[in-house]
């Protein structure tokens, strides 16, 4: 990898989760610029402004940023808001390795639920040139950190080759 800072976009609406992910990444001691987005719309705006080297994406996102001071809801919550971001990238030909980090192990949908393994398979099929990995985030356990570190190492290795 070159000497320039790695550009990372974290798309996550929950501040504690976003903060934990950012602290973990900074702990890797690699020069990086980290930006964040908290909704589908802010993620799309951010991607249109500048494509990062790596995208860390939550699946469940509101349509709009939440304004806590005005008690605004941020629009309808979307269990698959992250897929809207991935589809925008695909149809806009935005090439950016993406690691999905979701707090859910299962996703309800019409026709039956979807577990994280099935989600990974569906995302790999629909977004083969974008999806880098799918991880389960659970703040109670440290497993997500080792999984993210491995996914990050694979990303760096792919980037260097």
Amino acid 74: pLDDT? 47
| 43 or 62, which is more confident | 43
73 band by pLDDT with thresholds 50, 70 and 90: very low
Q: Check the CA dihedral 152-148-55-18 and report its sign.
A: negative
**pLDDT tens per residue across span 145-154:** 999 999 999 9
The residues with which 10 forms a beta bridge, in sequence order, are: 36, 56
Give the tens place of pLDDT for each residue, 83-117: 999 999 999 999 899 999 988 776 666 666 677 88
pTM of the model: 0.86
Looking at domain 6-160, does it have CATH number 3.40.50.2300?
A: yes
Query: Does 75 score more than 60 pLDDT?
Result: no
Range with lowest mean pLDDT among 31-35, 64-68, 101-105: 64-68
For the chain, give every domain's residue range. 6-160
Here the tokens at position 128 are 């083969």
Q: Work out the number of other CB atoms within 10 angstroms of the CB of residue 121.
A: 12
Q: What is the pLDDT of residue 68?
A: 46
pLDDT of residue 1: 44
């Amino acid at each position: 990898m070159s000497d320039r800072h790695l550009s990372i976009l974290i798309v996550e609406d929950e501040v504690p989760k976003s903060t934990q992910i950012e602290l973990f990444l900074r702990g890797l001691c690699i020069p990086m610029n980290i930006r964040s987005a908290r909704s589908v719309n802010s993620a799309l705006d951010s991607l249109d402004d500048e494509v990062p080297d790596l995208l860390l994406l939550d699946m469940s996102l509101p349509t709009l940023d939440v304004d806590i001071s005005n008690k605004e809801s941020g629009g309808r919550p979307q269990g698959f808001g992250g897929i809207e971001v991935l589809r925008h990238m695909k149809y806009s030909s935005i090439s950016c390795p993406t690691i999905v980090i979701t707090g859910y192990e299962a996703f309800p949908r019409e026709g039956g639920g979807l577990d994280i393994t099935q989600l990974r398979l569906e995302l790999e099929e629909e977004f083969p040139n974008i999806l880098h990995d799918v991880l389960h985030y659970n703040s109670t356990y440290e497993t997500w950190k080792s999984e993210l570190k491995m996914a990050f190492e694979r990303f760096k290795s792919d980037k260097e080759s």
